[in-house]
């Protein structure tokens, strides 16, 4: 990629620029590769990694104990068969929506501002899928039989049961994970080559070189590369919609009031994008500061993401409203009871906290100064993530704990292992993320370089 390295400084003056500062191809290239190649090991990074590793260890211990003792170490009980396990699953799958949404759908929509954040959010997607994928497996009573969920040829002539949404889930999530991984890796190839070229140490050259699959940046390469990306984007885009639709069917297919709802698919997808963008903001705000890449991930990016949060947040709010409306409109006593139970039942605090987090507080993003304020942005993004976790708590636990038979009503109280498993999954997520930002270019170098060009042209026109 030597041809892309330019040494002379170029003046870039434009209105409404996505990037800020004086960006050239070289500055972009250097900023991004330096984080990986030349930046020394920092105490702060090591500290963050060690905390994340402690979290990961917690997960390993929690799962170990789970395998030894059984699901009973959690608080799940007879009416509440699913609790933290499936809440966490859906929460992580939701978070996993931002990356592919940004790379695939925004790519197809030719939204150039996505370029600075796509790599990073795709990585986040993969790590979130890894966390999400853990839960459906460990929530099984007999973890050792998890492979029975796959249709594989066997002497019993037994297939999985294709009417079950859980099985659809297996396909949806594994397809999504596969396509996301491919998409992410394909996108990395030119940058891996750049890393190979930039790296000084031979062993780094060798690793990046192997991963770059012989990329030389020829026109043929670029042509095929662009085509592949577009095809993958075309494949991934419907998956963004389908995965959470299928996850929502886990609930919508059942007979349970609070689950048996037709609004679930769109409302779940919107909620997923909502939480995914919130998570991207949560992570971007400290990272861009830490690694000094505020000029590449700019206030403009954050502003745009905040706007996506408002938009999807309103869809989610519509979903909440519809649930209540339909409960009333249907005249079904179980639905009505469920709604009242959310409003004033023993877990009412969770419901109202959810409304506060997901409906009320994000409205602050209508105010430009809030969108421009890093502290506000960061806090609200965390609030949204909490809100989305609460949403799944409300859907799963509140619906299950009081359904048709009052004789079976009970409360769900999480046990210590529920909490450690959740914290552990955060540990897994952050371990992967913290490692990622120091071993791979977290921003797509070549793509951002294309904006530098186009922005320059844009400026020239003025």
Answer for which of 19, 32, 93, 149 binds another protein (CB under 8 A) is 149
Asked if residue 172 lies in contact with residue 242, where contact means CB atoms within 8 angstroms, the answer is yes
Answer for which of 170, 269, 279, 434 binds another protein (CB under 8 A) is 170
Long-range contacts of 196-204 (CB under 8 A, 24+ apart): 197/1, 197/2, 198/29, 198/33, 198/37, 199/37, 200/37, 204/37
* Euclidean distance between CA atoms 249 and 227, whole angstroms: 33
* Euclidean distance between CA atoms 453 and 199, whole angstroms: 25
Asked if residue 93 lies in contact with residue 426, where contact means CB atoms within 8 angstroms, the answer is no
Q: How far is the CB of 158 from another protein (least distance, A)?
A: 7
Measured between alpha carbons, how far is residue 270 from residues 242, 255, 297, 320, 412 in Å?
Answer: 12, 23, 24, 12, 28
CB nearer another protein, residue 147 or residue 203? 147
Cα 191 to the chain's mean position, in Å?
22
CB nearer another protein, residue 253 or residue 314? 253
* Euclidean distance between CA atoms 210 and 391, whole angstroms: 44
Mark 373-402 with x for binding to another protein (rule: CB under 8 A) and - for no binding. Answer: ---------------------------x-x
Answer for which of 43, 110, 145, 461 binds another protein (CB under 8 A) is 145
167 binds another protein (CB under 8 A): yes
155 binds another protein (CB under 8 A): no
* Euclidean distance between CA atoms 205 and 193, whole angstroms: 9
Asked if residue 136 lies in contact with residue 427, where contact means CB atoms within 8 angstroms, the answer is no
CB nearer another protein, residue 84 or residue 215? 84
Answer for which of 41, 109, 219, 405 binds another protein (CB under 8 A) is 405
Size of the site for another protein (CB under 8 A): 50
Q: How far is the CB of 249 from another protein (least distance, A)?
A: 11
Query: Which span (22-30, 145-153, 283-291, 359-367) binds another protein, by CB under 8 A?
Result: 145-153
Query: Which span (33-41, 111-119, 141-149, 177-185) binds another protein, by CB under 8 A?
Result: 141-149
User: Which residues, 6 or more positions from 38, have their beta carbon under 8 angstroms from its beta carbon?
Assistant: none
Answer for which of 3, 7, 78, 155 binds another protein (CB under 8 A) is 78
23 binds another protein (CB under 8 A): no
243 binds another protein (CB under 8 A): no
153 binds another protein (CB under 8 A): no
User: Which residues, 6 or more positions from 427, have their beta carbon under 8 angstroms from its beta carbon?
Assistant: 52, 53, 54, 55, 56, 57, 58, 59
Long-range contacts of 360-363 (CB under 8 A, 24+ apart): 361/387, 362/309, 362/310, 362/313, 363/310, 363/313
348 binds another protein (CB under 8 A): no
343 binds another protein (CB under 8 A): no
Answer for which of 9, 22, 42, 72 binds another protein (CB under 8 A) is 72
The length of the chain is: 462
82 binds another protein (CB under 8 A): yes
404 binds another protein (CB under 8 A): yes
* Euclidean distance between CA atoms 82 and 80, whole angstroms: 5
Asked if residue 100 lies in contact with residue 123, where contact means CB atoms within 8 angstroms, the answer is no
- What b/e sequence results for 205-238 when a residue is b if at least 16 CB atoms lie within 10 Å of its CB, and e otherwise? eebbbebbeebebeeebeeebeeebeebbeebbe
CB nearer another protein, residue 48 or residue 149? 149
Answer for which of 17, 174, 254, 450 binds another protein (CB under 8 A) is 254
160 binds another protein (CB under 8 A): yes
Answer for which of 51, 61, 130, 146 binds another protein (CB under 8 A) is 146
403 binds another protein (CB under 8 A): yes
Answer for which of 2, 219, 255, 375 binds another protein (CB under 8 A) is 255
Answer for which of 408, 416, 454, 460 binds another protein (CB under 8 A) is 408
Asked if residue 447 lies in contact with residue 112, where contact means CB atoms within 8 angstroms, the answer is no
User: Two tokens at 379?
Assistant: 């806090």
Q: How far is the CB of 414 from another protein (least distance, A)?
A: 12
Query: Which span (22-30, 88-96, 134-142, 377-385) binds another protein, by CB under 8 A?
Result: 134-142
94 binds another protein (CB under 8 A): no
Binding site for another protein (CB under 8 A): 69-73, 75-82, 139-143, 145-146, 148-149, 158-161, 163-167, 170, 250, 253-256, 333, 337, 400, 402-411
């Amino acid at each position: 990629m030597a041809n892309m390295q330019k040494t002379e400084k170029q003046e870039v003056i434009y209105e409404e620029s996505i990037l800020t500062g004086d960006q050239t191809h070289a500055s972009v290239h250097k900023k991004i590769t330096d984080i990986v190649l030349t930046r020394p090991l920092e105490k702060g990074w090591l500290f963050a990694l060690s905390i994340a590793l402690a979290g990961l260890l917690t997960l390993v211990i929690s799962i170990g104990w789970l395998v030894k003792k059984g699901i009973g170490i959690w608080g799940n009980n007879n009416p509440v068969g699913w609790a933290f396990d499936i809440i966490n699953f859906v929460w992580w799958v939701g978070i996993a929506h931002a990356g592919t949404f940004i790379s695939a759908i925004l790519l197809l929509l030719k939204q150039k501002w996505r370029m600075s954040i796509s790599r990073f959010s795709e990585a986040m997607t993969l790590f979130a899928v890894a966390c999400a994928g853990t839960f459906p497996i460990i929530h099984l009573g007999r973890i050792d039989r998890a492979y029975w969920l796959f249709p594989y040829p066997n002497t019993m002539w037994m297939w999985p049961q294709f009417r079950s949404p859980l099985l659809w889930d297996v396909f949806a999530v594994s397809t999504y994970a596969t396509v996301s991984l491919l998409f992410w890796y394909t996108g990395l190839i030119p940058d891996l080559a750049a890393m190979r070229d930039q790296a000084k140490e031979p062993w780094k050259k060798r690793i990046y070189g192997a991963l770059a699959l012989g990329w030389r940046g020829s026109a043929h390469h670029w042509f095929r590369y662009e085509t592949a990306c577009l095809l993958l984007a075309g494949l991934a885009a419907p998956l963004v919609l389908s995965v959470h639709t299928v996850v929502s069917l886990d609930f919508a297919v059942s007979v349970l009031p609070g689950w048996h709802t037709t609004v679930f698919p769109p409302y779940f997808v919107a909620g997923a994008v909502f939480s995914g963008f919130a998570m991207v903001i949560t992570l971007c705000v400290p990272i861009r500061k830490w690694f000094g890449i505020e000029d590449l991930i700019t206030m403009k990016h954050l502003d745009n993401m905040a706007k996506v949060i408002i938009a999807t947040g309103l869809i989610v709010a519509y979903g909440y409203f519809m649930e209540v409306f339909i409960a009333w409109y249907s005249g079904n006593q179980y639905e009505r009871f469920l709604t009242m139970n959310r409003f004033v039942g023993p877990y009412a605090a969770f419901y109202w906290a959810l409304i506060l987090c997901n409906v009320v507080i994000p409205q602050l993003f209508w105010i430009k100064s809030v969108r421009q304020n890093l502290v506000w942005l960061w806090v609200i993004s965390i609030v949204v993530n909490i809100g989305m976790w609460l949403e799944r708590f409300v859907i799963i636990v509140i619906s299950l704990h009081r359904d048709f038979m009052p004789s079976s009503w009970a409360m769900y109280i999480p046990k210590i292992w529920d909490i450690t498993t959740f914290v552990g999954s955060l540990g897994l997520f952050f371990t992967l993320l913290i490692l990622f930002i120091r071993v791979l270019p977290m921003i797509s170098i070549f793509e951002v370089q294309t904006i530098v060009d186009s922005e320059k042209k844009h400026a020239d026109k003025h």
